[in-house]
């Protein structure tokens, strides 16, 4: 008989755990997510960095220090296996004042303790060789070659596709409302879609991990949201070749200047601690954005004019009591494992967190895990029409004319790309058609016009493929139907 595992939360941590647990034939794995698609919580809005592992004090934050460098190494395998957009371009932590070098020396020593390779402090000449357009007043920096960048939601999607292909059962639009415990052992999860039996429950619920933990009587930590705000510029704006950090503070790694994976200059985040009640507060603020702008200019003084900004946004990080990751089997309730407080560097650490959970299941729960004879580490190849060479693109259009119909002009996304994305959505079980689900799979609506040209065209394809009225297509799941209010009148004109 298989051991039933329920993972709460299909963000980067929960998805990674599901993928790794799918390797074992004696586990039946269920991945539970309250949103209409995967990766729409904490994983959706962040700086998308694979950190180097030099920042976390191994004495103060042992779990973060251990798992960050392990995660960095694992990502080098995972991005290849899962075809995740990535770049290994390295990071510079920049010294703008003489006193900053003392902090850089501390980071260098800490990084060496954590096992970070090839870190060096560079002088001004080498600094500007690595990044010529920095603030000319910069004095030097710490060079960390192993830092990289990925697409965070494409990463979650890729991991979940692979997990589902290997037998994981994904439950979308499924909100956990209670956990059944009998005789000191977990028995299952109460949800809006019924009861899911489970012998092991893994709490990877991000900002809500403390609330899930309290459902089984474990209440020795709290999660509060820390907001970070960002600016993104049009794609024709030159950005840095490396990831640029200021010298960090005790509260934050600081405002980063980088060229994100799609080629857009991005600056942010700041760090604003919010009350624990504001776990859905994703509003940007004038004060916060101005703070980001001012601090970014200290590194990158030639910021483009604000007319070149295509978007601002905010993300929330789950800050735990004590600051370190909380990854443990709870002694009070057998079978309940907390994976809570996964703040930065959580994205980097996610693959290593998954293997840490495997060890907890073996060591603390005493379960012998039996590996499958056949486990597929790869996911189905993506066409990426806009990346094909002209001759191959022409061949594909002859085979499938939908790839010759451009829907998103900014990012050259074709109808074929969108149909492929919908096929992948249906494969993992996305029931509610949403424009955001297409956006994160194809980059449509994320270019210069931010969807003003293609949004309705995408909605029409979604409506056709899902068999719903156009105005019942959503922006980001139920409750965000694009036909609400005056928009429905406009869409009716599109239909007619």
Q: Which of 117, 108, 101, 82 lies closest to 12, judged by CA?
A: 82
What's the token pair of residue 111?
């990084």
Q: How many CB atoms lie within 10 A of CB 428?
A: 19
From residue 198, alpha-carbon distances to 21, 186, 422 in Å are 14, 7, 31
Cα–Cα distance for residue pair 118/90, rounded to 1 Å: 11
φ, ψ of residue 26 in degrees (nearest 5)? -95, 15
Residues belonging to the chain: 496
Helix/strand/coil for 123: strand
Give me the catalytic one of 30, 51, 171, 224.
51
CA dihedral 487, 490, 491, 492 (to 10 degrees): 120
Per-residue b or e along 201-210, where b marks 16 or more CB atoms closer than 10 Å to that residue's CB:
bbbbbbbbbb
Contact 75, 352 (CB under 8 A): no
Cα–Cα distance for residue pair 47/260, rounded to 1 Å: 8
Cα–Cα distance for residue pair 43/173, rounded to 1 Å: 17
From residue 187, alpha-carbon distances to 93, 179, 182, 183, 310 in Å are 48, 8, 7, 10, 48
Contact 34, 175 (CB under 8 A): yes
Bridge partners, 265 (sequence order): 259
φ, ψ of residue 478 in degrees (nearest 5)? -55, 140
Q: How many CB atoms lie within 10 A of CB 126?
A: 15
Q: How many CB atoms lie within 10 A of CB 116?
A: 23
Q: Which of 428, 496, 495, 423 lies closest to 466, judged by CA?
A: 423
What's the token pair of residue 496?
């007619």
- Segment (H or E) for 27: strand 27-32
Is 224 in the active site?
no
What's the token pair of residue 297?
């200019």
Active-site positions read 51
């Amino acid at each position: 008989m298989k051991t039933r595992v329920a993972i709460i939360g299909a963000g980067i941590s929960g998805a990674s755990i599901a993928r790794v647990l799918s390797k074992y034939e004696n586990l039946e794995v269920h991945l539970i997510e309250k949103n209409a698609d995967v990766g729409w919580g904490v994983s959706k809005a962040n700086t998308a960095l694979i950190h180097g592992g030099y920042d976390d004090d191994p004495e103060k934050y042992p779990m973060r220090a251990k798992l960050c460098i392990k995660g960095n190494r694992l990502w080098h395998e995972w991005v290849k296996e899962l075809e995740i957009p990535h770049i290994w371009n390295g990071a510079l932590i920049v010294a703008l004042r003489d006193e900053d070098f003392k902090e850089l020396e501390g980071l260098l020593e800490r990084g060496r303790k954590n096992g970070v390779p090839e870190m060096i402090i560079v002088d001004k000449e080498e600094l500007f060789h690595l990044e010529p357009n920095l603030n000319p007043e910069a004095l030097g920096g710490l060079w960390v070659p192993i830092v990289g960048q990925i697409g965070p939601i494409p990463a979650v999607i890729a991991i979940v596709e692979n997990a589902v292909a290997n037998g994981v059962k994904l439950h979308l639009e499924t909100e956990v409302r209670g956990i059944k415990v009998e005789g000191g052992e977990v028995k299952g999860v109460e949800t809006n879609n019924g009861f899911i039996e489970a012998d092991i429950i893994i709490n990877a619920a991000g900002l809500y991990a403390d609330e899930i933990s309290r459902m089984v009587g474990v209440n020795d930590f709290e999660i509060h949201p820390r907001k970070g705000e960002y600016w993104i510029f049009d794609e024709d704006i030159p950005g840095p070749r490396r990831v640029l950090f200021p010298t960090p503070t005790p509260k934050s790694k600081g405002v980063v200047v980088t060229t994100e994976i799609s080629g857009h200059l991005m600056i942010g985040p700041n760090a604003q601690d919010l009350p624990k009640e504001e776990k859905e507060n994703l509003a940007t603020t004038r004060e916060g954005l101005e703070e980001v702008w001012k601090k970014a200019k200290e590194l990158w003084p030639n910021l483009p004019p604000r007319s070149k900004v295509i978007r601002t946004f905010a993300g929330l990080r789950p800050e735990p009591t004590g600051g370190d990751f909380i990854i443990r089997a709870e002694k009070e309730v057998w079978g309940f494992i907390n994976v809570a407080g996964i703040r930065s560097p959580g994205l980097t650490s996610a693959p290593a967190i998954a293997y840490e959970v495997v060890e907890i299941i073996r060591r603390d729960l005493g379960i012998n895990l039996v590996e499958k004879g056949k486990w597929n580490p790869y996911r189905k190849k993506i066409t990426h029409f806009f990346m094909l060479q002209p001759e191959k693109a022409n061949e594909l259009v002859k085979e499938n004319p939908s790839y010759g119909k451009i829907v998103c002009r900014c990012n050259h996304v074709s109808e074929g790309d969108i149909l492929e994305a919908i096929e992948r959505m249906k494969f993992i079980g996305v029931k509610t058609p949403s424009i955001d689900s297409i956006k994160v799979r194809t980059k449509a609506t994320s270019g210069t016009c931010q969807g003003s040209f293609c949004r309705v065209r995408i909605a029409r394809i979604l409506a056709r493929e899902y068999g719903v009225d156009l105005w019942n297509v959503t922006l980001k799941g139920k409750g965000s139907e694009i036909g609400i209010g005056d928009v429905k009148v406009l869409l009716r004109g599109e239909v007619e």
